[in-house]
A and B are shown apart, each in its own frame.
Chain A
Amino acid sequence: MPGEWRALPSSFRDPSGFLFEREGELYRQVNRYYQDDYDLLLSSGLYKALTEQGLLVRHDEADISPPDPQLAYKIIKPQVVPFISYPYEWCFTQLKEAALATLKIQKTAFDFGMSLKDASAFNIQFVDGRPLLVDTLSFEKLRLRPWVAYRQFCQHFLNPLLLIAYKDFHLNQLSRIFIDGIPMSLTSRLLPFRTRLRPGLASHVHLHALSQKYFSTRKVKVRERQVRPVSLAGLVESLESLTRRLSLRLKKTEWAHYYEETNYTPEGFEWKKKLVEEFLDIIKPDTVWDLGANTGIFSRLASRRGVQTVAFDVDFLAVEMNYRDCLDNGDKNLLPLVMDLTNPTPAIGWENRERKSLLERGPADAAFALALLHHLAISNNLPLAKIAEFMSRVCRWLIIEFVPKTDSQVQRLLATREDIFERYTRPDFEEQFSRSFLIVRIAPVEGTERILYLMKNRSSPQG
């Protein structure tokens, strides 16, 4: 008798199979429909080649009863991804690395007589700091036909990359609205005029959009055409060289230079690090969310201990710098992501369940809220009670810094607004947070007026 199982709401479109959970473990059913391609993936050596290069998720075949025996061919158990992230949470380099990984996978697949039938950015996840294809069922036998996932690649990867590189990095958020990728027509209209003069861009984006528009209003008989292998390879190579040449010119932002503009003395800063380390020794977490992580200096205190750490920040460029540091230093346990805590990622897609909200992906064992409280309470008018409530939903342990109103950074925030924050005081802070948390440690940060708290959630939050 099959045990209790639950199909994942993100996995229902593909007739090749689906993901399901049973007794807390994640499995994938491979359907008979996909039998030939699955066997070819393994027998051709493509699976071995891709997993050895760290490009495809590893799996084991599981000897358990399938949830849908009529359709089932095999059940596989994929390697677990520590934290699921989405393209609209990635910085430029993460998106670019994910795009290049997809093209590299496609090129490798060609060598083994296979091809990607999906090029969805949602199929890529960051594991050990690198992009990994997590959908084992994305391959099909290579046929000399146009690449079926070409449009998807353009919409999911090329378009957001171009819009970030040529217009504004905030446009990455368009991926959140357009779940199947940013439309060609929109990208073509938003990109500056000069992009029409570049051959690669003119053809893959502008002519592509034009061609879609032209043929959408005409009944065309598209004949099955053979495409020569050299043409298929050329297409992928052309997308690759276009992607590889894209770069993000960094500009100065208030946040990206936050640490240089901090009011900490070097000693105060080191003292704060020491306190965080001490608190981590007490908690011994498996997962940490650093909320308002900036470039991830404090996140690294956790990730260097082997703790799976996610470093969230609202500033795209701070996340960009953080990820580049991860690449440079080979930091495997740190995942920097763009996140506006005042408007965190919602659940989107079919039935609002296809892609998870931030809260659904928690709780973390521990959260850091360092130099964050005043931004939420003063810049965003969030009452302390509301902040405490949010924190209690995302973590079991909390390391939070109270920044008093007399602090020069708070004074900076108050310089341009009326001080209506009478209840932003230490006693109020302790009172509000004590409703959900037990205060375990209170430690002043030497050389500053700031205080670091270690708190334990009174109830274990539900994910």
Chain B
Amino acid sequence: MRPIIRYVALLSLVLFLLPLCGYGYIDLGSGSYIIQLLIAGFVGFSLTLRIFWKKIKARFSKKAKPDETIDAG
């Protein structure tokens, strides 16, 4: 989760400087699409890292205690 926190913290700094305004007849779809790509990208990346990390941990813990299964979340 750490990389996401750093990423979001940085972007939230930008948010403080940019107050939002109301708007009328415009398409809000592209904005939702793009933010979703960003979030999905980062969350997906972090999930992949977590899975990878679990595998590494499992490999090492297997050496120490062969009975312990992947349980670190």
Contacts and interface: CB of A to CB of B under 8 A. Distances in A.
A146 B40 contact: yes
A199 B8 CA distance: 6
B15 A202 contact: yes
B12 A212 contact: no
Given A215-B34, A222-B33, A234-B44, A196 B16 contact: yes
Majority DSSP secondary structure for residues of B touching A: helix
A216 B44 contact: no
Contacts of A235: 36, 39-40, 43-44
Interface string B9-35: 101101110101111001111111111
Given A146-B33, A151-B28, A184-B28, A204 B44 contact: no
B37 interface: yes
Interface string A182-211: 011110110000001101001110111111
B35 to A, nearest CB: 4
Interface string A214-251: 11110010100101101111110110000000000000
A143 interface: no
Most chain A beta-carbon neighbours within 10 Å: one of B18, B23, B36, B41: B36
Contact of B12 (A146, A196, A208, A214): A196
B22 A185 contact: yes
A207 B35 contact: yes
A206 B30 contact: no
Given A151-B28, A216-B27, A185 B44 contact: no
B14 to A, nearest CB: 8
Interface in B39-62: 39-41, 43-48, 51
Contacts of A188: 20
A395 B31 CA distance: 48
Given A231-B43, A237-B43, A196 B28 contact: no
A212 B40 contact: no
Contacts of B18: 210
Contacts of A146: 33, 36-37, 40
A151 B43 contact: no
Given A146-B40, A206-B12, A238-B39, A230 B48 contact: yes
A219 B68 CA distance: 54
B4 interface: yes
Contact of A207 (B15, B22, B30): B15
B64 interface: no
B32 A212 contact: yes
Nearest to A146: B36
Nearest to A150: B36
A147 B33 CA distance: 8
A406 to B, nearest CB: 53
Most chain B beta-carbon neighbours within 10 Å: one of A147, A185, A233, A238: A238
Nearest to A199: B8
Given A196-B12, A231-B43, A231-B44, A214 B31 contact: yes
B5 interface: yes
A297 B3 CA distance: 50
B15 A216 contact: no
Contacts of A257: none
Nearest to B13: A196
A202 B8 contact: yes
16 contacts: A185-B20, A189-B20, A196-B12, A196-B15, A203-B38, A207-B35, A212-B28, A212-B31, A212-B35, A222-B33, A225-B37, A227-B44, A230-B48, A230-B51, A234-B46, A234-B47
Which 5 residue pairs across A and B have the least CB separation, nearest first? A231-B44, A212-B31, A234-B43, A151-B32, A211-B35
Interface of B: 1, 4-5, 8-9, 11-12, 14-16, 18, 20-23, 26-41, 43-48, 51
Given A213-B23, A216-B30, 11 more contacts: A184-B28, A196-B15, A199-B4, A203-B38, A207-B38, A208-B31, A215-B34, A216-B26, A216-B28, A217-B26, A230-B51
